[in-house]
Amino acid sequence: MKEEKIIQAIAEELNIKTNQVEKTITLIDEGNTIPFIARYRKEVTGGLSDETLRDLGERLNYLRNLETRKSEVISSIQEQGKMTDEIAVAIEEAKTLAEVEDIYRPYKPKKKTRATIAKAKGLEPLADIIYAQTETRPIEEIAKEYVTNVESVDNLPEKDKIVVDINDAITGALDIIAENISDNAKYRKNIKRICYREGIIVTKATKPEEKSSYEMYYDFTESINRLPSHRILAINRGEKEEFLKVKIDKNEDKIINFMERDIIKGQTQFTKYLQDTILDSWERLIEPSIDREIRSDLTEKAEEKAIKVFGKNAKQLLLSPPIKNLTVIGFDPAYRTGCKIAVIDETGKVLATTTIYPTEPQNDVENATKELLKLIDKYDVNMFAIGNGTASRESELFVSDVIKQAKEKLQKEVHYAIVSEAGASVYSASKLATEEYPDINVSLRGAISIARRLQDPLAELVKIDPKSIGVGQYQHDVDQKKLSESLSGVVEDAVNKVGVDVNTATPSLLSYVAGINKTIANNIVKYRDENGKIKERKELLKVSKLGKVAYEQCAGFIRIFDGKNALEITGVHPESYEVAEKLLENIGYKTKDLLSSNKIKEIREKLKEINIEKTAKELEVGEMTLKDIVDDLSKPGRDPREEMPKPILRSDVLKFEDLREGQILTGTVRNVTDFGAFVDIGVKHDGLVHISQLSNSFVRNPSEVVSVGDIVKVKVIGIDMERQKVQLSMRDL
């Protein structure tokens, strides 16, 4: 029954059918990976995308944990003999872990509190009398019965269980009532609702005279229900770094009145006691914990959104198109220690490395120019990949001048592109880099990474911790475990979307293929080294620890060029080879014809003519699967990244001083956040297109309009010379 509820809840949340959810859960429980389900089980899931499948997996995990926690709470309350039908229904209907914990709060074993001390003194019956408000005897007379009889020395209880006098008895009873009010799930739920609807976040500077990046929050207020996620994370960081004090302003009168109306039953001798106790419960117990819960809830939702934004950006970056068949100079800029240079051929092999000193303090432009011209001539270099870190601007000016000289002196057309070097230094000193380039100095490995990022972004970026690749917002402030899990999924989806050449891939790349872990990835490379090139997919079954289950998951994502079976340069899974062969046979071709560029054109035209519905029935295969097979056979060996926008290649440099308001430029989207997009227009710092400037129409979310890697036209609308910042617009273009 519980599983049925989970299926129904997920279907409603994701706006999909219950049978899609049910069948997908079965596939996940059987151990199938998300990329495999998304690509090769479309008939079963109804064609759910990898993003939807990951959301489904996350919600499934959460809701199953919720059901487990509900069972634990029910057992605990039953063991205490305090379970009622009302509590059981409330737990059953709870939709979040927070709601369950609120219901459990009164029954949760507590540490020592004022209320537990009072209960130990036997004052709970007195608390019940006061709360009931029906007793007509004076409260002092009632309380006197609970005062410890100190004359009976022989029967004197432990010291902390003594009720000294009437006042001690009444105070203890009121402490019990205050805690009971604080633990009341109904009150907490309503108070939270009031706070979320009407509460205001207020931030003040701890040191108003001190400059910081949090100055907009030095005297800031905003409604909780309107606070965007990036502001929540910025405020959290400002508070953590002790620049800000944060509080939640709320309608206390409304909250106190709400509790008084529910608790106080007319004017009695107990009224003033209960009014004071409600106020005490609010100020001492409820407000601090509600504030913590609201801040925690806001943070969790903001982190969730930030992780999603980061994941989307990371996927776009990973799927940036490769620059193929070019020899590239990786240029890692620096000042004092010199600029590191690495020449990489079109296959990614390192041809040469050196260090030059064209920037301050040496300014040896003459020798640096000679060295680069020599490398361009010797290795027939086509491209520079310049890292965007320290001294990038000066290096860009220097390289553009070298490019002019290469054209004049060598009659050689060379271009350059600015490449994000985020994480390059982390990679350079990593164990992986040491294994790849044991004889190359750590400082030079960064230049190799920069060059190879331009040649094949995916293959290079998988070597780096995803959160270090330089996209997203506040990635170091969010829950690192959730971030890592999310980003691993994003990288996995990107790698499997592209497919992996099993004979050239590094263990880093192979470890993201569905069904392959790090151990198996290393074993594949070891097998390759010992036995030479892998000739067909089923040969993978000879690899240590790669069994039938792993093979089923990974086979379709593995590419084998120059192998025994032409289908293995495509995404056709071995389970569909027979269907693919029959399909080709039906239109008059064989699988080997997929390797002929002339015949491919003919095959593509013939495949366009087939009736998917009719052919699927004839071949006894699902229509979605057949459609994917047709796509794969139409473009064998294709790289889906080739359809993405190509990076802007430059040969001359744009100076910040050259910018003018109203100027129209072409740039590359480098990052997308909640509040807009950062666009590289060729000056030192990326310009910001605020969300309000992304389109002529209303934009709810910047990612609806732009993605990382997009090439866009922008207009300069604001220039801040002092801070070297530029405001851009995409409206009216």
CA torsion angle 593 595 597 601 (round to 10): 50
Residue 19 has pLDDT above 90, yes or no: yes
* 152, pLDDT greater than 70: no
Same domain for 298 and 168? Answer: yes
Q: Is residue 394 part of a domain?
A: yes
Domain annotation covers residue 179: yes
Let me know whether 261 and 370 are in one domain: no
Q: For residue 729, what are the β-bridge partners? A: 715
The overall average pLDDT reported for the chain is 91
pLDDT for 155 beyond 70? no
The overall longest dimension of the chain from CA atoms, in Å, is 112
C-alpha pair distances (Å), 321 with each of 21, 125, 559, 642, 710: 34, 74, 18, 5, 11
Check residue 64 and give its pLDDT.
94
- Over residues 344-396, the pLDDT tens digits come to 998 889 999 999 999 888 899 999 999 999 999 999 999 999 988 888 888 98
The answer to whether position 498 is within a domain reads no
Average pLDDT over residues 660-685: 86
Q: Report whether pLDDT(656) > 70.
A: yes
* For range 9-32, the mean pLDDT: 96
Domain membership flag for residue 486: no
Predicted pLDDT at 729: 93
Residue 219 lies in a domain: yes
The reply to whether 383 and 299 lie within a common domain is no
Cα separation, 423 vs 405, whole angstroms: 32
Q: Are residues 291 and 142 in the same domain?
A: yes
Is 380 within the bounds of a domain? Answer: yes
Higher pLDDT among residues 733 and 255, named by residue: 255
Total domains, the chain: 5
pLDDT at site 151 = 63
Q: Tokens for 484?
A: 């890592």
**Which range marks the domain in which residue 286 is found?**
114-306
* Residues whose CB falls within 8 Å of the CB of residue 251, separated by 6 or more in sequence, listed in order: 194, 198
Neighbouring CB atoms inside 10 A of 390's CB total: 16
What CA–CA distance (Å, rounded) separates 308 from 483? 9
d(CA 436, CA 342): 15
Of 107, 142, 171, the one marking the end of a domain is 107
* Secondary structure letter of residue 672 according to DSSP: E
Same structural domain for residues 129 and 258?
A: yes
- Quick check: is 514 in a domain? no
The CATH code of the domain that includes 125 is: 1.10.3500.10
Provide the pLDDT for residue 237: 92
Tokens for 671?
Answer: 């990052």
Q: Are 83 and 77 in contact (CB under 8 A)?
A: yes
* C-alpha R_g of the chain: 33
- Which amino acid, one-letter code, is at 604? R
The per-residue pLDDT for range 451-505, each reduced to its tens digit, is 999 999 999 988 888 778 777 667 778 888 888 888 889 999 999 999 999 998 9
Going by C-alpha positions, the residue among 247, 138, 161 that lies closest to residue 203 is 247
Same domain membership, residue 160 and residue 286: yes
State which of 588, 614, 643 marks the end of a domain.
643
Enter the tokens of residue 256. 């106190």
Last residue of a domain, one of 107, 141, 159: 107
Q: CA-to-CA distance for 590 and 605, rounded, in angstroms? A: 15
Provide the pLDDT for residue 153.
45
- Residue 721: pLDDT band (50, 70, 90) is confident
Identify the band that residue 157 occupies on the pLDDT scale cut at 50, 70 and 90. low
Measured distance between the N- and C-terminal CA atoms of the chain, rounded to whole angstroms: 56
Q: What is the pLDDT of residues 228-274, one digit of tens each?
A: 988 999 999 999 999 999 999 999 999 999 999 999 998 999 999 99
What b/e readout covers 98-113, taking b as 16+ CB neighbours within 10 angstroms?
Answer: ebbbbbbbbbeeeeee
DSSP labels, 26-73: HHHHTT--HHHHHHH-HHHHTS--HHHHHHHHHHHHHHHHHHHHHHHH
Residue 250 within a domain: yes
Q: Are residues 596 and 703 in the same domain?
A: no
CATH of the domain at 102: 1.10.10.650
* pLDDT at residue 652 tops 80: no
Same domain, 267 and 348: no
Structure letter (DSSP) for residue 555: G
Per cent of the chain over pLDDT 90 is 71
Q: 710: pLDDT confidence band, cut at 50, 70 and 90?
A: confident
Q: What is the DSSP letter of 650?
A: B
Q: Both 302 and 420 in a single domain?
A: no
CATH of the domain at 687: 2.40.50.140
Query: What is the mean predicted confidence (pLDDT) over 503-519?
Result: 94
**Model pLDDT for residues 534-545, shown as the tens digit of each residue:** 999 999 999 999
pLDDT for the residue 154: 52
Other beta carbons less than 10 A from residue 519's beta carbon = 13
Minimum mean pLDDT among 119-133, 513-527, 672-686: which range?
Answer: 672-686
Query: From CA 153, how far away is CA 140, in angstroms rounded?
Result: 24
Q: Are residues 119 and 224 in the same domain?
A: yes
CATH classification at residue 380:
3.30.420.140
Which pLDDT value is given to residue 473?
A: 67
Mean pLDDT of 330-337: 92
- The pLDDT value recorded for residue 324 is 85
Cα–Cα distance between 95 and 97 in angstroms, integer?
A: 7
Q: Is the dihedral of CA 688, 694, 700, 703 positive or negative?
A: negative
Residues 168 and 288 both lie in one domain: yes
Residues 168 and 257 in one domain: yes
